Chains A and B, each alone.
Chain A
Amino acid sequence: MTGRWIPARWLRRLSAPLGVLGLAVAVGVGGVVWVRAERAQVAERTAAVRAELRELRDTLSDLRRRAAYMDAHRTRYRQAKARGLTREQDRLAAGSTIERLAVETGVTRASYTFKKADRTSFAASDRGGDGEAPAFVHTPVVLELTAQREGPIFGFLDALQTELPGYLPVRTLTVRREAWNLDQAVAAIRDGRHPTVLRAEVTLDWVVLDVPPKTESPDA
């Protein structure tokens, strides 16, 4: 009787079909594994390209947004720069400007006081440290003006707002008539004197923007 072992002739008989089966499995599994690996590679590359495409689209969108913003605000920025909004406050030059404009606009007398400047930093919400943050530098300027009519006073204020670098809005304005007898005033003028007909007290807020030299916005 045949034992439990598999006789050699049976092994010979089985070798071919088992070999074919092994080959088929190897080819089949190998092919499937290869194609799966290829798909995984392609999927990985596709994902990378998609991510880059998203980034590129974001970048382009951002660039276009920035370009649109720059187109819309370039003029305003240049105007503000030209008006000296980011320049330092030069009190000596400002004093000279006031004196010159008083003469040019016909203000009889102009006296000015630059009060103590204060600094309002943007640090809390925009920059890490106060020293690196932009800030408004604010100097109150008190003017006492006298003139023989309103024109020189308002002309002086207009010219001053144009010529003094920075932003210079009027905080308070008081205009009073000092002379009610116009005949006396005209006579005094004819005598070469300068009678005070109008007196104005003006307080201006002189503000400039202090931008630290190496400050860069995250979007720069």
Chain B
Amino acid sequence: MRALTWHGKHDVRVDTVPDPELINSRDAIIKITSTAICGSDLHLYDGYIPSMQSGDIIGHEFMGEVVEVGKGAAHKLKKGDRVVVPFVISCGKCFFCEKNQPAACDNSNPADTAQMSEIAYGYPMPGAFGYAHLTGGYSGGQAEYARIPYADYGPIVIPNGLDDEKVLFLSDILPTGWMAAENCDIEEGDTVAVFGCGPVGLFSIQCAFLMGARRVIAIDHYPRRMAMAKGLGADVLNYHDVNVNEALVEMTGGIGPDAVIDAVGMESHGYAIDNILDAVKASMFLATERPHVLRQVIIACRKGGRVSVPGVYGGFADKFPIGAFMEKGLTMKTGQTHVHRYLPKLLKMIEEGKIDTTFMITHRMPLEDAPKGYKLFKDEQNDTVKVVLKVQ
């Protein structure tokens, strides 16, 4: 098959590789129809993520048609089903999956790679598609075919008549935006501030309104992304032109935003997990992040308010404003997205036309052009909001 493979910094290629096969009983093989490039894929592209190996197939936002099903998944899937696959891999059977926290699955990361995350975070983290060997080294979905482990638990079957583009983002960024808004515990009359108008920020805005936010104030500096936020009904601030904190205070009558979302994370400044591992090995708490936005959201949030962090962080934060966090009595919720938890509800809302997923797609191209898509997404962030790859 053809697949996008990683070979090093700024070196991704579409290669011919062997087709994946069923390995375990609960596996399925899917023939991919659409796949997207995620912001977090850029950090593989930029060579920031260690434990990558040359030839790894990347991509974790994908959907397609079931072509083979293992015995252990046959009660849920059959050949010909159209499915969207959650980026996080979950067994569905452990304590965490049963608590509806699939992004904390105890079993999906193979034992040797789980060990690495246990050293870094104290407990083993779950597996994920196409994201280096810390999360299992599972081959990703920017390819013609993919092996889906625990296929009886993860993939959601999509009814015919719904275009790929309407449902593809169920794989990651739509549930991530939904969980980001849910973590704001929105109450009547609330103002929510969203830092970052990338795809997750944009979905957070849409979901915050759906959950009853009276007002959403979005912060970015790319005109095209700010225009999209405005189109969703948000007020927008360009942080190059505005003292953001002063503006948020003034726009909320001195109370401040009731909830603030960090939809930026550390990735824009380099997701330097290699430093983390070095730090763990050296048993020294070196700063590995430049948590500029994390500091800002804590300062921006009103007293007693809620901070929601869908943005990805990997290691240690220097100058975490613990004083502001404690004295203001804030609550912070964060985490990789429990994708499985939200799929049925979000699919229904898409079917009912309550959520629009297609507005942010700026580029569509064949899988063969994926290297060009990566380059555009990296170099032209204003114009390139979301790239969807079509697989024949």
Tell me if chain B binds chain A. no
* B interface list, Cβ under 8 A from A: none
* A interface list, Cβ under 8 A from B: none
